[in-house]
């Protein structure tokens, strides 16, 4: 492995220490010495190209980065506040078997996510409806 700059090292540590995938801004907020945010983006691109972190994007342009060491990869993503969390139940086993045969395809990995609205955003929406300013 190539020698990592202190920034890249910190970025990996933050991603590996988090149970949820993080976007560049989340990572920037965790960094002690604040670099230019563009350096954070560049580090993330570099680390992903090197296979040291992975990323996923949902219905928005933001990419969320997560550790290559953490399995399995299942997320829930709130489309209002973009909060993203991991969960560990896996329902892929049966589906994998079927896909494997039907498509003559060797499956090596999967990323699975649900998109929806989190409890906080739901409450916020209900409050706004009650106040009548939707």
- Residues in contact with 64: Cβ distance below 8 Å, sequence separation at least 6, in sequence order: 21, 22, 23, 55, 56, 57, 58, 75, 77, 84
Q: How many alpha carbons lie under 13 Å from residue 133 in its C-beta half-sphere? A: 4
CB of 113: closest distance to Zn ion in angstroms? 11
CB of 16: closest distance to Zn ion in angstroms? 20
Residue whose pair of structure tokens reads 């079927």 in the numeric block: 98
CB of 124: closest distance to Zn ion in angstroms? 8
Cβ-based burial of 77 (10 A; exposed 0-12, middle 13-18, buried ≥19): buried
Binding site for Zn ion (CB under 5 A): 72, 78, 80-81, 90, 92, 118, 121
Residue whose pair of structure tokens reads 């700059």 in the numeric block: 5
Cβ closest to Zn ion, residue 11 vs residue 118? 118
Cβ closest to Zn ion, residue 32 vs residue 89? 89
Residue whose pair of structure tokens reads 């996923």 in the numeric block: 56
Cβ closest to Zn ion, residue 50 vs residue 120? 120
Cβ closest to Zn ion, residue 37 vs residue 81? 81
CB of 90: closest distance to Zn ion in angstroms? 3
């Amino acid at each position: 492995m190539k020698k990592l700059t202190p920034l890249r090292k910190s970025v990996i540590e933050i991603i590996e220490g988090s149970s949820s995938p993080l976007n560049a801004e989340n990572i920037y907020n965790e960094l002690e010495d604040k670099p230019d945010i563009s350096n954070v983006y560049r580090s993330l691109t570099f680390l992903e190209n090197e296979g040291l972190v992975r990323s996923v994007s949902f219905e928005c342009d933001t990419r969320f980065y997560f550790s290559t060491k953490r399995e399995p990869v299942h997320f829930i993503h709130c489309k209002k506040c973009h909060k993203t969390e991991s969960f560990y139940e896996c329902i892929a086993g049966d589906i994998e078997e079927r896909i494997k045969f039907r498509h003559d395809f060797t499956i090596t990995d999967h990323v699975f996510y649900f998109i929806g609205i989190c409890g906080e955003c739901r409450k916020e929406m209900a409050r706004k409806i009650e106040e009548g300013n939707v």
